[in-house]
């Protein structure tokens, strides 16, 4: 398993383009099951979760080509393959996004129940209730969900759960309803930008969807969907992670393809904390994408953050902001409303000198002068990102084990950060022979960061 070794203290500076969005790409890729013709997706990020989805779609008869221009082209080859097996589904919860398209297009689906998650219970009851409302017959068999339907029929579905709506649940039901007979109304739908991106693809394929981005979706079913050519939106959580890394290291960076209108809640908190966020392009204020400069003058003010469904503050940036607020002058309060147990990172940050008081879903973060480097353990994707940011800002050396968590959601994170002047290197502890079995972990690459910001990649021969 790979480890990151980080020497803290470097102020991040330089320019980076934000990669394509993992949480948009995964349901977009699942929509390939709906197309009767070739589907082309562009700007898909090179992540282990994306590779898992490609493997899963291969199990489901989707032929795939990686084109020279970086686009991913698919064509359904064998529509009789309808079993999403445990070996892939257990590695990635978002595999559940194939359920709706399969039962809508092939009238049968066998999808393994997704496994547990490091930060709490993540049910799929809303997914299943939504499909039943469209006429699917659902049963559980040996840990698999079996869904069958002659042809789905439109209906009215309430997608709100005790913690708000579900993004992948909304994606699943929307992707099923586009081929249902008649009209479907989804109340309390997720409003996340990734849902808008998926709706844009489905409409390009011939679907009839109104209200994407609002809590009420109205879908007129059609008989079939054509192919399309669609580019994945930039990743708002990756963009937010880079912004926090710059802020925590007293840095100044420029981000291209920053998904401005998807991050208004985060930008608002950054400004409250005293981080300068400037748009360098002259696009409209509501532009989907912008070029943005993030500058921090170290004196950070405390903040009160409560995670909410979009357009509220995203739960996927909660851990990263906890690291930043460790360095604020005063006490901050973070309340996690989506996943009340999503605090695996607190104990690890405490090992680096962070001071916390937790009461259920709320953590009080006491500002400290600085964090101190230490060996820490990654536990889930965003908790791992927060530990990387802590290592960048800390005094001394931080080693982060099990960075395969990061490879799920960040494209070659160590290279991106080295490009901004960070002193970070990946050390592979996995013997080359078995490396291929674990998420294709990268070969040993030592990143030497000379005083200038251009990082030099050398393949160490140890």
Active-site residues, by number, are: 117
In the bound state with ligand EPZ, the residue whose beta carbon lies nearer, of 107 and 122, is 122
Query: How far, CA to CA in Å, does 341 sit from each of 122, 337, 358, 359?
Result: 11, 9, 11, 11
Q: Which residue has the tokens 């949480």?
A: 23
CB 381, min distance to ligand EPZ, A:
5
CB 392, min distance to ligand EPZ, A:
20
Residues that bind ligand EPZ (CB under 6 A): 23, 26, 93-94, 122-127, 161-163, 166-169, 194, 315-316, 338-339, 381-382, 409
CB 37, min distance to ligand EPZ, A:
26
Nearest-Å Rg of the Cα atoms of the chain is: 22
In the bound state with ligand EPZ, the residue whose beta carbon lies nearer, of 105 and 236, is 236
For residue 416, the number of C-alpha atoms closer than 13 Å in the C-beta half-sphere is 24
In the bound state with ligand EPZ, the residue whose beta carbon lies nearer, of 167 and 376, is 167
In the bound state with ligand EPZ, the residue whose beta carbon lies nearer, of 20 and 302, is 20
Give the three-state DSSP class for 153.
Answer: strand
In the bound state with ligand EPZ, the residue whose beta carbon lies nearer, of 29 and 447, is 29
- What distance in Å separates the CA atoms of residue 177 and residue 135, rounded to the nearest whole number? 11
Four-residue CA torsion sign, 397, 403, 405, 411: positive
> 74 forms bridges with which residues in the sheet?
39, 64
- What distance in Å separates the CA atoms of residue 184 and residue 131, rounded to the nearest whole number? 11
Angle at 52 between CA 70 and CA 226, to 5 degrees: 60
CB 94, min distance to ligand EPZ, A:
4
CB 178, min distance to ligand EPZ, A:
19
- What distance in Å separates the CA atoms of residue 172 and residue 149, rounded to the nearest whole number? 15
């Amino acid at each position: 398993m790979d480890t990151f070794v980080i020497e803290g203290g470097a102020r991040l500076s330089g320019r980076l383009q934000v990669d394509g969005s993992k949480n948009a790409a995964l349901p977009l890729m699942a929509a390939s099951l709906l197309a009767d013709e070739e589907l082309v997706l562009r700007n898909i990020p090179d992540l282990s979760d994306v590779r898992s989805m490609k493997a899963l779609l291969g199990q489901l008869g989707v032929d795939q080509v990686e084109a020279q221009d970086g686009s991913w082209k698919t064509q359904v080859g064998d529509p009789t393959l309808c079993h999403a097996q445990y070996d892939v589904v257990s590695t990635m919860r978002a595999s559940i996004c194939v359920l709706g398209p399969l039962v809508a297009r092939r009238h049968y689906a066998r999808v393994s129940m997704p496994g547990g998650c490091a930060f709490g219970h993540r049910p799929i009851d809303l997914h299943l209730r939504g499909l039943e409302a469209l006429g699917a017959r659902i049963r559980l068999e040996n840990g698999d969900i079996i869904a069958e339907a002659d042809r789905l029929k439109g209906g009215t579905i309430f997608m709100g759960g005790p913690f708000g709506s579900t993004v992948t649940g909304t994606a699943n039901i929307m992707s099923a309803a586009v081929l249902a007979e008649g009209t479907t109304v989804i109340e309390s739908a997720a409003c996340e930008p990734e849902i808008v991106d998926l709706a844009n693809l489905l409409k390009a394929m011939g679907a009839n969807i109104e209200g994407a981005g609002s809590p009420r979706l109205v879908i007129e079913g059609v008989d079939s969907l054509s192919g399309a050519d669609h580019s994945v939106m930039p990743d708002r959580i990756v963009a937010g992670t880079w912004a926090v890394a710059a802020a925590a290291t007293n840095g100044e960076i420029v981000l291209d393809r920053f998904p401005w209108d998807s991050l208004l809640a985060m930008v608002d908190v950054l400004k409250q904390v005293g981080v300068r966020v400037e748009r360098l392009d002259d696009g409209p204020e509501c532009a989907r994408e912008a070029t943005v400069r993030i500058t921090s003058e170290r004196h950070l003010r405390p903040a009160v953050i409560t995670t909410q469904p979009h357009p509220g503050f995203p739960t996927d940036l909660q851990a990263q902001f906890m690291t930043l607020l460790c360095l604020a002058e005063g006490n901050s309060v973070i309340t996690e409303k989506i996943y009340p147990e999503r605090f695996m990172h607190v104990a690890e940050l405490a090992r680096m000198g962070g001071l916390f008081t937790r009461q259920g879903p709320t953590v009080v973060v006491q500002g400290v002068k600085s964090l101190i480097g230490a060996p820490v353990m990654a536990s889930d994707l965003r908790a791992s990102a927060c530990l990387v940011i802590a290592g960048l800002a800390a005094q001394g050396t931080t080693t982060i084990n099990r960075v395969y968590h990061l490879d799920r959601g960040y494209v070659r994170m160590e290279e991106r950060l080295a490009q901004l002047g960070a002193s970070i290197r990946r050390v592979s502890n996995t013997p080359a022979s078995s490396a291929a079995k674990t998420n294709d972990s990268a070969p040993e690459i030592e990143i030497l960061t000379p005083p200038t910001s251009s990082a030099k990649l050398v393949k160490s021969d140890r």
